[in-house]
Amino acid sequence: MKLSYLILSLLLISLGCSQKEEQPPKEIAQEIFNPKLDFRPNILWIVAEDMSPNIPAFGDSTVVTPTLNRLAKEGISYDNFFSAHPVCSPARASIITGMYANSIGASHMRTGPWMLENLPEHIIQGYKSLPEENIPYEAVPPKEVKMFTEYLRASGYYCTNNNKEDYQFIKTMTAWDESNNKAHWRNRLKNAPFFSVFNIGVTHESRIWAKAEDSLWVENDLNVPIPPYLPETEISKNDVRRMYSNILEMDTQVGTLLSELEEDGLLDSTIVVWYTDHGGPLPRQKRLLYDSGTKVPMIIRFPNGQFAGQRDDRMISFIDLAPTTLSLASIEPPEYMQGSAFIGPFTRDEEPQYVFGAADRFDEFTDRIRSARDIQYKYIKNYQPEKPIYADVAYRKNMPIMQELLRLRESKQLTAEQALWFQQPKANEELYDITKDPHELHNLANDPNFQQELERLRTACENWLDGMDDTGLRPEKELVEALWPNGIQPQTENPVFTYSNGRLTIGCPTEGASLGYRFVEDPESDERGAWKVYNSPVNVPENSTVEAIAHRLGYKRSAMKTLVLGMEK
């Protein structure tokens, strides 16, 4: 496997050679990639939506992004970073748990019944008209799985989310100190370390059409690159210009957050992580397991100029974000997580050779696709080859460039590269040499010269799936029945108090339930009523009133229980 560019350059200097080397031992990786800090760092995630590596830091010079250029100059750029799922809700499920969404019942886009509560009536009726297997539900991860921010909060971090909650399950009440559009590290009560997430939606695919009448942040005639799978018409160019315009607007919003850090004197006590939640907004990008849907940019800036301007080409997946963040906070990641830390004191001992991906239902269109990718090749397994690669998702057809593609298909004016997306049936297997075919247009699965690579990646993909209960490969109706028997959501049982000699123990009969508590009379209590994470007995003065609640992911929350002077209400 290739080394990071930094390690490779060091080897070339010391050895005077250019051959490919094996991945360095853990000690070398830690020495080069891990920050040396004498304090618990703040951690800031800035997450842009629906964006491939279309910025100068990753080789696309169509527009200049001053803020991200600065971040790249002052931090590490990660060249092989991949979403495990090419659409937002499953991707976020994998991020927040450190687990593949298809291993926890979360790989179908928009499972949650709460989605219906806040949607326009015509959308609600559209959901109700879908086939029975698309009934909304919450994913129910295994009992040991938590939202990883609970571990941060339990260790003293103030955790905020502003403000996307697209997890495929309702958040536990112990996941965040704040999760709303006003959440901010500035709201913490004490000078505690913080973990803050800011989601920037201006690059989302919907902004291609929703901002169509807005002024562009680029020239009206900007020469933009059009990938070969999209038409080079003026309609297409306008939408691609809008994409780049939205990227510039996002860059400015990132700059505002960095300015706030600097104003607070926190920039050099904060690890800043910027990345995007999956591939780009254009047709044949988001929702597909091609690199256009899964390969995303990431830049990490460390305090005190550490690793400034470096690059890292290790294979990194979204499932690695949770354990890595815990590692940076000096918290050992739990063993159940399928990802592993790529930096920090708990850095993994070996670098993975492959990253994996899964794609199942996207709104009203269902498919079953899995992938394995190494540094050079991509393997894709299509479990329903009778269906086209193209998912006829109504939402995407709001985009003019999508309408243009469909118009050209109807009039039989698509090029061979553009027509590939609509082929039906599709191949059982796909294999691409990414170095020679970055747009994944030339399927090598049937080429006798590549059978060894095909077998190797097929085996890697099969071994990955053999190690999990891949819930996405079941019919969704069957999955819902397994998660919510008879269509009824399981209920978290109420917390149980045990109070003795000023010590309070809180339990719950529901295995895997997260427990939260708070003191009603606490003068330092957060006025927002944030629940403290319970994980061991706590001291409770006799004149206290304690409230507690329990919640297992995917279950209904318990009722709130109250203890006054040792008596339960």
CA-CA distance, 208 to 213, in Å (whole number)? 10
In order of 56, 383, 389, 393, 406, the CA distances from 411 in angstroms are 37, 30, 20, 20, 9
| Cβ atoms within 10 Å, residue 112 | 20
**Interior/surface letters 183-201, b for 16+ CB within 10 angstroms, e for the rest:** bbbebbeeeebbbbbbbbb
Active-site option among 88, 159, 461, 508: 88
**Phi–psi pair at 164, nearest 5 degrees:** -75, 135
Instruction: State both tokens at 66.
Output: 């001053």
What secondary structure, in 3-state letters, does 107-147 show?
A: CCCCCCCHHHHCCCHHHHHHHHCCCHHHCCCCCCCCCCCCC
| Cβ atoms within 10 Å, residue 269 | 16
Residue 94 and residue 319 in contact, taking contact as beta carbons nearer than 8 Å: yes
Helix or strand holding residue 519 (H, E): strand 514-519
User: Catalytic residue at 508?
Assistant: no
Residue 42 and residue 197 in contact, taking contact as beta carbons nearer than 8 Å: no
CA-CA distance, 60 to 280, in Å (whole number)? 14
Looking at the annotation, which residues are catalytic? 88
